[in-house]
Homo-oligomer: A and B are copies of this chain.
Amino acid sequence: MIVIMKQNATKEQVNAVIKRVKEEGLEVHLSEGKEQTIIGLVGDTEKMIDVPFRGFDGVSDTVRITSSYKLTSREFHPTDTVVDVDGLKIGGEENFVTMAGPCSIEGLDQIMECARIAKAGGATVLRGGAFKPRTSPYAFQGLEEEGLKYIRQAADKFDMKVITEVMDEANLELVAKYTDILQIGARNMQNFKLLTAVGKTGLPVALKRGISGTIDEWLNAAEYIAAQGNQKVIFVERGIRTYETATRNTLDLSAVPVIQKLSHFPIIVDPSHGVGVWDYVTPMAVAGIASGASGMIVEIHPNPSQAWSDGQQSLNEKRYMNMMEQIHVMEKAMKEVKLIREKI
């Protein structure tokens, strides 16, 4: 960490900073240039992140050199982490995964039919919500435990894994009983108590990016999970909130190479929430694979016009099967692309 003084900072102002640093048992490395004085902090700088140097007189700026996340960072673990979901591998060079299913579990028949379609297209993980975070308290909130039972049954029948959202600590034990992957929704990316709790379960966690989460916050959210000894984090890019209204969110595919540079955990994309209308889901799924993502999670429904939620962004069977055909072409192409990339 370094503290940059203003050009006209006085000797007293510089000393006030140094004094504060030494109070915490750290040393300083002073660099007095012509234009500015820079104070480098030497020692356990983690103790200093809450010291409000920017509020000190004469201070222009502070710069962190090291990231606040450790276990999540690529430096800590230089090779790609492959998350093992009971034998299913996510991440690493050649392990593309497709997770598919409805927004909400609506009944046993519906989720069974979704599982059949999902599997037929090549998905290996079945998604579906039993607890739904809804903007309005009067909207459908999910079938809860009943729904969890149905999705487990459907996944088992088609030899798939289950991913479903856990919204609060109170229901964590219940959800964990039925699912293979715990999903943390966008609204909970910084629900730190919940992150700590899912970290403790040791189960794989799919961590959605917050509605307006920065990549730095997202990496720190993963750190809450990893700090509990859980190294099974999967990042899910699902679009961020911007001023543009032509799409529901703005799917930030550049997050894929950025996360891959900064962290060793795999990242997948969610084109359904990213765009919010079904006609744009397929092109963005294809682009998502091409951005280098380790897979995707997509909403399907046997009859989208009857869906209880998110119907406008769900693919029907025909569209999903067609998309998956494209995805397989893209997965093949990406293997070739990666070989070329390695030559440099």
> Cβ of A282 < 8 Å from any Cβ of B?
yes
Given A227-B137, A243-B242: A305 and B220 within 8 A (CB)? Answer: no
Report A93 CB to chain B, min CB distance, Å: 15
- Whether B282 lies near A50 (C-beta < 8 A) is no
Contact with B along A295-307 (1 / 0, CB 8 A): 0000000001101
- Whether B290 lies near A139 (C-beta < 8 A) is no
- Whether A135 lies near B283 (C-beta < 8 A) is no
- Whether A341 lies near B329 (C-beta < 8 A) is no
- Whether B2 lies near A38 (C-beta < 8 A) is yes
- Whether A31 lies near B29 (C-beta < 8 A) is yes
Beta-carbon nearest neighbor of A69 in chain B = B136
- Whether A337 lies near B341 (C-beta < 8 A) is no
> Cβ of A55 < 8 Å from any Cβ of B?
yes
Contact with B along A301-338 (1 / 0, CB 8 A): 00011011111111000110010011001101100110
By the criterion of a CB under 8 Å from any partner CB, how many residues of chain A are at the interface? Answer: 121
Beta-carbon nearest neighbor of A311 in chain B = B52
User: Please, which residues of chain B bring their CB within 8 A of the CB of A108?
Assistant: none
Given A340-B326, A340-B329: A35 and B65 within 8 A (CB)? Answer: yes
Beta-carbon nearest neighbor of A252 in chain B = B250
Query: Can you name 21 A-B pairs with beta carbons within 8 Å?
Result: A7-B66, A33-B40, A50-B307, A50-B309, A54-B277, A55-B305, A61-B63, A133-B192, A187-B190, A188-B191, A191-B191, A212-B212, A215-B244, A242-B242, A242-B252, A247-B254, A251-B252, A253-B284, A261-B280, A290-B291, A322-B340
A interface residues (Cβ-Cβ under 8 A, vs B): 2, 4, 7, 16, 20, 29, 31, 33-36, 38, 40, 42, 45-46, 49-56, 60-61, 63, 65-66, 68-69, 133-140, 167-170, 187-188, 190-194, 196, 210-212, 214-217, 220, 223-224, 227, 240-247, 250-258, 261, 274-275, 277-280, 282-284, 286-292, 304-305, 307-314, 318-319, 322, 325-326, 329-330, 332-333, 336-337, 340-341, 343-344
